[in-house]
Structures are given as C-alpha cells and as structure tokens.
Amino acid sequence: MQLLHGQRIVRSAVPSRHRAAISTKSSLLLLRPTTNPKTLSACCILLKRWYSAASVLDLPALDDKWRRRWKEDEARTSEKGAGAGDSKYVLPMFPYPSGTLHLGHLRVYTIADVVARYRRLKGDDVLLPMGWDAFGLPAENAALERGVAPGTWTRSNIARMKEQLECMNGSWDWDRELTTCEPEFYKHTQKLFLMLYERGLAYQAEAEVNYDPIDKTVLANEQVDADGRSWRSGAKVEKRKLKQWFFRISEFREALLRDLDTLAKDDAWPERVLAQQRNWLGRSKGAKIKFPVLARGGHEMGTAIEVFTTRPDTLFGVQYLALASTHPTVIQLAKADPELAAFLDTLPGLPPDSKVGYLLPNLRAINPLAFHEDTPDATKTSLPVYVASYVLGDYGEGAVMGVPGHDERDHAFWRTHNEDQPVRMVLAASEDEATTVMRNEPYVEHGLMTEHSGPFQGKHSTEAGEMMVRMLEAANLATRADKWRLRDWLISRQRYWGTPIPIVHCDSCGAVPVPDEDLPVKLPDVDSYWEAGKAGNALESSPDFVKTTCPKCKGPARRDTDTMDTFVDSSWYYARFVDPHNDKELVSPEAAAKTLPVDIYLGGVEHAILHLLYARFIYKFLASAGVIPQAQANVLHGEETEIVDPTSAEPFRRLITQGMVHGKTYVDPDSGRFLKPDVEVDLSDASRPRVVATGKTATVAFEKMSKSKHNGVDPTDFIARYGADATRAHMLFQAPVGDVLNWDESKIVGVTRWLQRLHDQVSEAATSKTEGEGDHGSIKEYLVQRHGQMDSMSKAELTQWDADAAIWRDVQRTIGSVRRSYDGIYSLNTVVSDLMSLTNTVGEHKAAASNTVKWAAASAMTRMLAPIAPAFAEECWGILTQDKVTSTSTTHTPSMFASCRFPDQDGSEELVRPRRQACAVQVNGKVRGVVQIMPAPAGLEGETLSRWVTDQILETEDGRVRFGGEGAAFDVRTARRAIAVRGGRTINFVM
C-alpha cells in the first residue's frame, strides 16, 4: 500500500466496485489508503498499464532527458544527415551576439528547426548550421562603455546565446559553427576582398559620405533616419568628402534585376521582397536632355545643363531647372558667391522633404523645344535655375527639370518659391479636361497633350514623348539612357571591430594587396584603448599595426586602417558553412557543388534589401570567378542544368520571411505612460487590468518588444517554466509564419493541455494493443481484411468499424493537410490545429475503436508532431515502440528522426468512407427532415444520383415513416422531380 498511496491514476479506468478507494483532485485522482486486496490488485494492474498516461507531463524534464540522449547519439554516431534522400540545406539568418536571444530569434530558429526535422523525417540529408555575425559597431561601443575589448564582450555573449539555443531543442550542426570575428573566418573575407580587387571590382575613390561625429565612423544611407540622425548614436550626421573603399556592385546590376523574375516563379521569394529589391536597383528608362544656358557676369558655364528624365512628354511644362548642391555648375558658382556658399553649408542638416532652394542670380536656361517654330511662347521663355535640397547629386545628372503641373515635388517647390506664378498644364486625362483641368494639384499620369503642347496637342503623351526625343536626338539635344538608383557598395568603416582591409599603402608603389601567404591581417590587441574609453578608430592609434613593409618594394609602408562593413561578412557566410574547416579556400568546388545553393533561407523582412542584395551580388561574383561550379542545380526546381551565364547563379532557392513578435503592453490612460506589468498593474482580473495607482482600467495593446515598453519576454525563462516543445508549439500555433505574432503567455495553457491529452492517448494505445493486432506498417491490410468481413459483422463489430473508419479517415485527411503546411511553411500554425482536431477525433471514438487503429493513429500523430515538439515526440515514440525495444539485443534505441519516416497517405479514403451520411430532405425547397443513408458511390450524378438517394431514403425505417406514402406526411415517390446535390447530402423533391 505504501507504493500506491498518493499515486495518480485515471479514475474512469478503475472498475466501479473499486472506485470508493479513489478521490478526485482536479482532472487527476489520488488513491486513498485501503486494505481491500481486490482493490489493491486492480490498482496495481492499472498503475502498471496506466501510470505514464495518467501522470502529469513534466515537459522541461523531457527536454533535459532527450537533449542528453541526442548528445549521446551524436557522440556515438552522427544521426543528422543520415537520410538516403535528397540533400537539403536549411539556413536561418545567423544572429548578432548582443547578449541574449529574444522571442524574434526564438521564432525564426524554431521555424528553421521544424523545417529541418521535417525534411529529415522525409528521408533527406539535411544541413542546419549555426554561427555568429560577430563584428560590428555595437560591440565596439559596448567595449568603450565597459572598458573591455570588443572580442571579450562578443565571445561572452556568444556563450550565453549558445546556451539559450541549446534550450530550445534545436538540431544545429555545431561541428560547422562559425564566428565572423575569428581570424579563421575573416582570413577568407580578406581573400574575397582581394579576389574582387584583382577583378577591378574593389576600388578606392573620393566620395561624399555620411559621417557620425560621435561614433566617428561612416554610415550607409540606410543607417541615417529621416531627420538626418545616426541610427545608433542619434548624432546629426555630417556630409564629408573621404577616400573610401567600394565594391562595384553596379557591374552586376543587370543580372541582379533580371534574375528577380526567376526568384518570383512558384512564389519562391515573397513578392514584397522582390518589389523592394527592384525599387532599390531602380532602373529607369528615359533620355538625357540638354538645356542650353545663358550666363551673365562673365561666368563660363559651358553650353548646356544635361537633365535625365523618364517623362519627356512633360517637356512643354518645364518652368525651372533645379541642381544638386554637388553639381559642377553649383560648385563653380559658389567660389564667387558667398551667399550661395553659405546656403550650401545649411543643406546637410535639412530633412529630405525640405523645399528650400537658392535662385542662381546669373544663370538662365533655355528649353530645347524653344527652337521649334511651332512651340508656344510660354515654353520659349528662359527658365530660372535653382539649387534645391531635394535634388540628389548621385542620381541622373544631379539636375532635374521642374514641371510643377505634372510632378508633386516640383509642384510643392514651385508653389513655395513662386506662389503667384501660374502652373502650366500640358497633359490632361481627356480632351474635355484640356481646358478645364484643375490647377490646384499636379496631374501625374499619362494622358492627352493640351493646347500648351504646341504641335503635339491632342496626341497621347506616350506617343508625343517618343516623338520629342527623336526630334531632339536629331538636333543633338537628347540621347536615350537608362539610369539606376543602385550605387556601388561603400564598404569602408572607420572603426576597429571589423575585418581589416588587406591593402598596404606605399609612397612608391601605391595601393598594394597583402599576399595570400600573409593572410589574415589580424586585428591588434589594443586593451589600453578600451580602458581609456576613447571614440574613434583604434587602428589609427596603433603604430605596430599601421607601420609595415611594402610587399612589392620592401620599403616602409602603411596599412589601411579602415575595416569592412559587416554586410561583407554576411554576404558569403552561407557558403562557408558548407566547408567550414577548409584553411586554403573560401569553399571547395566539390563542397559547393554538393550543397549550394541554400534550399530554404529564413529571416526577417527587414533584410529584404541590403543583406539579400549583397549576398546575391557576391554569390554571382563567386560563380563568375569559378569558386561556385557553373554546373549546379537549377535555382528553383532542382534539375541539373548547365549555367551558361554564371551571373545567373542565385544563393537562396527559397526565401521565407517571418513576421515580428509583439508583446502585450499596459498603458496608463491618463498619462499615456507604459506601465510595468509586475509592479504598476493589477492583473488579478486578467480581463480588466487596472492601474495600481488610480484603479482605472489600463489600455492594453500589442507592440514591438522593447525595454521602454516593459513588454519583453525572456525566452529562456519561458522555456524553463513550460518546456521548449510547448513553447515551440505555442509560438507556431498563434499566427501564420509571415504574420505579426502577438505574444500572449496565457494561451499556452491550451497547448500544454492538448499535449497531455495526446500523451494519454499514446500511452493508452501502447498498453492496450496486443501482439498480432497489426502495426503502423500493415494498418491498410488490416482495414481491407475487416472491410471484407462487414457483411457478417455483428452490431458491436459494425460499431467498432465505424469508429475505426472515422479515426483513420481523419488520420488520412490530417496527413495530407499537415504535409502541405510543412511544405508551404507559411501555414505551420495549421499543423498544430490539425493535430488538435485529430486528437479530438481519436478521443471521441476511442471507446469503440480497435486497439490496432488507435495505435496506428497514435504513431501517425507522433510522427506528424515530431518536427515541432521533438522531445515530446521522442518520449511518445519510445512508449509506442517499447515492446520492440525490449525484444532487441541492444540497449541503445536510435532517435526517431533516424529510425522512422513521416507518415504518407495510404490511399484508404474510399475504403473508410462513412457507412452512413446525413441527407437533408427538402420538399418544395423546405427541409422536412434528415435521414441517415449510405454514401453515394463515386461518379453518380444528375438523375442517376437522385434516384439512388431516393431509394436509399425509402430503404430506411425513418425514411419510410416520414416520406414513404401511407401515413407519411409526404410521398416522395409521387414527386414531379427530384434534385440531389452535394454528393447526395441534400435532395429536393418538387411535388
């Protein structure tokens, strides 16, 4: 009795005559002390058979158990990648080691692991590596704040984050782990730089750059906000002219644009990512138009200002020209115009949408159409020329033609500087609008030319624009041209914590590349620099690093003190993962041919432009350089094809972008201040949270997680409370992969309860099934055999058949739906909901169903859930297969991911169709009853189906009583017409 007292068992499983010994406690039961030998005997049997089913699941304990087992398996033999199927490369974007993982990390890494485990269960050989994007300015700033080296801070963060990753039950291949700040990695980043340099694709040039005066480094345009401030320090960014290193990404712009069409096939990449890339590449077809100039005051300005435009049809509407501050004409005029020079000094601090401008007093321009005799007088008038902050010096020719009537920015600028001047409208939506067009806002679409367009009046603007270009080409006043928004990639950063640029500067030899045998150029130890907390570039103040010998002439030389943008590291790391221990090459051709490109790449949509664009550029370069073999799998379809043009190679076959994770916030309705939920909010009634200080109901909303909003969640703490598998299932269940996830901890209770029910079903199926009742490999044969015996079955046996058929029918449906969700990835949330539904189906029919079908259903559910909840599934699989384990001669049981396969549909749908289905009987369009009939045979339609359904109705007792003639309310045999629809589930009799 001491062994039994307090043990938990299922009360319903105890014979009724012994239930007095059992007390209820929640959904579980405790044995009361008893001396009744029959009760003791019954309970001993139950405890032996039902203990695992009736125990409350300790999911964190299961995590610990199976993580130990997986490590033992790895030590014994590598079971990852043991599949005999296709080779699959699944890769999440690697993390920056900031110190701790957040829920956004947990989401993307859960999705990646789920996809990899599913592929392994399908028999594929899967690569799922992990590494660290370890260089960057945050580590350097942290080092200055703390007085420690950035490497020390970074490596300690990596250790913490790796522990967190281990807690989430991931299946990472840690043998391939890489860290970009280690010399073993950045040696090859430097080699990549030198390969580009040898091809003329890495070069140094003077450039106007964004300079952060606090962090003392150059920033990319994307690192400057709309107010002209640094994304990290908040400092007002300065424009400076510096000599910088660039990668000539523009050399590959045609291929980068062209191959977006390939990535769009079969929705391999999200359309919004493709659209952002197209916009960033920014190809514009148009013409360069020459506007002759008139200069006064002895200024020599040349003969014309050249303007690029995509809308030559609006030439008759040009009312001014606007030049960028860096335009050569402006720079020349500023030398003799102090007011202009002072104006130029104010421009760097202005917002991008500023409408300020400076009218150049001694310069006028002439519309090139003015030389045509039929041009209206208004267009022949000379044009004012402005310097305008909205004109970009690096787009087109640094000059725009101002057309207030047909461009919104031009309209706003003109109204600011010429409020009383009319706006000339040279296009209209239709002929009727040509003279009545609204003058208050510009018309920006294509349309018909108005009376202000001279000889082109009435023509469509597309045709007219083409005619104007041809006419101006003949007069040598226009040339057709394409312009791109894309600029060469500025990679120079004036900071320490990055990959040193492997160039030596010699007064005699110029820029000299560091020889391969001298790589890597290592970062020097400058511990005293961090202790002093000085901003700036530590490399410049390290004479031992700077002073060197020229590799060419052996004379004194100076190392380059810039380091590379961290996007350079992430532009090729995915290739290094396939050959991480190769000391001589970035990646061997053999390893690249076997594994590249990445099959499924997962990460946030915030990387839609730069990281993905740079990775595509470098991959195309590596293919053109022969590092990536030209004979490789087709980008999307896995067919072996010869890539004639290596620049068509793409690094990522399929891209999955997950949504952000938002946390619950509580806001004081009076002050709008974010409240601390554990201190300032009364959550005793979760449906009505109250502000502790005032008693008022707090405003609840979901927002991006941040410390200032007090809505962050530590995934490690969450996993410690609920277990990794429940956390993974909860995270996937809450929202489709591509949507924002509003994290609500309270809803995980539903997931844990479901896992408990499923565990109970698995345990019951394992203990109920007897030897010889069939297994998951012969379930269809079992059903075929039982189906053949239906004519001789008793009522009880038919009841069992109906339960078996209902369960197995839902198993087959679920397998199909779950497979589609795993393959599609974006609908992974429906995997959990489908399995919950199947668990309910099994629960509804378990009392009547055979042990064979219940075991097979439990086996299928376990394997379908395994990618999402691997430790839980391993435990269930061990319970289901325990007889087989004990009968073997070895004590080692292989992981289910190495020993079993994802379930397939077995084609039994027709076999397990319901014996009865509900048929709604309508008379003259009104439902008069529902009769249970046999399902209609496949292929029956029209009148044949209607006759068959009518006969089935009248064969049932209920049908005869209600619709069969004498004594019945209706005699459907006398109906003028019968119309059966929905496969016989509805029939309408027209009387």
DSSP character at residue 934: P
Residue 297 φ/ψ region, left for φ over 0, alpha for ψ in the -120 to 50 degree band, beta for the rest: left
DSSP character at residue 555: S
SS3 28: strand
Residue 10 φ/ψ region, left for φ over 0, alpha for ψ in the -120 to 50 degree band, beta for the rest: beta
In a domain, residue 905? The reply is: no
For residues 216 and 335, state if they share a domain: no
What is the structure's pLDDT at 886? Answer: 40
What is the β-pairing status of strands 598-604 and 652-658? Answer: parallel
Give the separation between CA 226 and CA 220, rounded to whole angstroms: 13
Residue type, 163: E
Residue 882, both tokens: 């325990």
Average pLDDT along the chain, 991 residues, taken 10 residues at a time: 38 44 39 56 53 69 93 66 71 92 93 97 96 92 87 95 94 96 98 98 88 78 73 79 92 96 96 95 94 78 87 97 93 92 85 88 94 92 95 83 95 93 92 58 93 93 95 95 92 94 96 96 90 80 94 96 96 97 95 95 91 97 90 46 76 96 91 89 89 91 85 88 96 95 91 96 84 58 89 89 94 97 97 97 94 95 98 94 50 77 91 86 92 84 91 89 85 91 90 88
The full DSSP string for 164-231 is HHHHTT----GGG-EETTSHHHHHHHHHHHHHHHHTT-EEEEEEEEEEETTTTEEE-GGGB-TTSBBT
Residue 493: its H or E element:
strand 492-493
What is the structure's pLDDT at 214? Answer: 80
For residues 780 and 723, state if they share a domain: no
For residues 375 and 391, state if they share a domain: yes
Q: Are the beta carbons of 808 and 853 closer than 8 angstroms?
A: yes
Domain with residue 312: its CATH number is 3.90.740.10
Closest CA to 502 of 196, 140, 182: 196
Residue 722: its H or E element:
helix 715-722
* Count of domains forming the chain: 5
Give the separation between CA 93 and CA 577, rounded to whole angstroms: 12
The residue segments making up the domain with residue 837 are 775-898
Give the separation between CA 531 and CA 352, rounded to whole angstroms: 39
Residue 232, both tokens: 């990290």
Residues whose CB falls within 8 Å of the CB of residue 336, separated by 6 or more in sequence, listed in order: 299
In a domain, residue 625? The reply is: no
Give the separation between CA 829 and CA 839, rounded to whole angstroms: 16
SS3 825: coil
For residues 822 and 698, state if they share a domain: no
Per DSSP, what are the bridge partners of residue 977?
Answer: 990
In a domain, residue 942? The reply is: yes
Closest CA to 114 of 877, 865, 733: 865
Domain with residue 951: its CATH number is 3.10.20.590
Count of beta carbons in the 10 Å neighbourhood of residue 66: 22
Q: Are the beta carbons of 815 and 905 closer than 8 angstroms?
A: yes
Inter-axis angle of helices 829-845 and 795-824, to 10 degrees? 170
For residues 859 and 931, state if they share a domain: no
For residues 467 and 552, state if they share a domain: no
For residues 219 and 204, state if they share a domain: yes
Give the separation between CA 679 and CA 701, rounded to whole angstroms: 18
SS3 224: strand
Classify residue 769 as exposed, middle or buried by CB count within 10 Å of its CB (0-12, 13-18, 19+): buried
- CA-atom Rg of the chain in angstroms: 37
Distance of CA 605 to the CA centre of its chain: 5
The full DSSP string for 227-293 is TSBBTTT-PBPEEEEEEEEEE-GGGGHHHHHHTHHHHHGGG-S-HHHHHHHHHHH--EEEEEEEEEE
Q: Are the beta carbons of 696 and 689 closer than 8 angstroms?
A: no
SS3 796: helix
In a domain, residue 122? The reply is: no
For residues 317 and 443, state if they share a domain: yes
The dihedrals phi and psi of 400, each to the nearest 5 degrees, come to -130, 150
Residue 818, both tokens: 């779950």
In a domain, residue 966? The reply is: yes
In a domain, residue 172? The reply is: no
In a domain, residue 59? The reply is: no
Closest CA to 393 of 498, 270, 308, 302: 308
In a domain, residue 746? The reply is: no
**Last residue of some domain: 567, 585, 607?**
567
For residues 302 and 398, state if they share a domain: yes
Give the separation between CA 180 and CA 150, rounded to whole angstroms: 13
What is the structure's pLDDT at 300? Answer: 60
What is the β-pairing status of strands 986-990 and 977-981? Answer: antiparallel
Per DSSP, what are the bridge partners of residue 603?
Answer: 657
What is the β-pairing status of strands 977-981 and 699-704? Answer: unpaired
**Last residue of some domain: 433, 466, 484?**
484
Vertex 915 angle, CA 911 and 917, to 5°: 120
Give the separation between CA 363 and CA 948, rounded to whole angstroms: 92
The dihedrals phi and psi of 555, each to the nearest 5 degrees, come to -85, 175
For residues 405 and 532, state if they share a domain: no
For residues 837 and 925, state if they share a domain: no
For residues 315 and 450, state if they share a domain: yes
Q: Computed from CA positions of residues 150, 156, 159, 162, in that sequence, does the dihedral angle turn out positive or negative?
A: negative
Residue 925, both tokens: 């369009």
**Last residue of some domain: 484, 508, 526?**
484
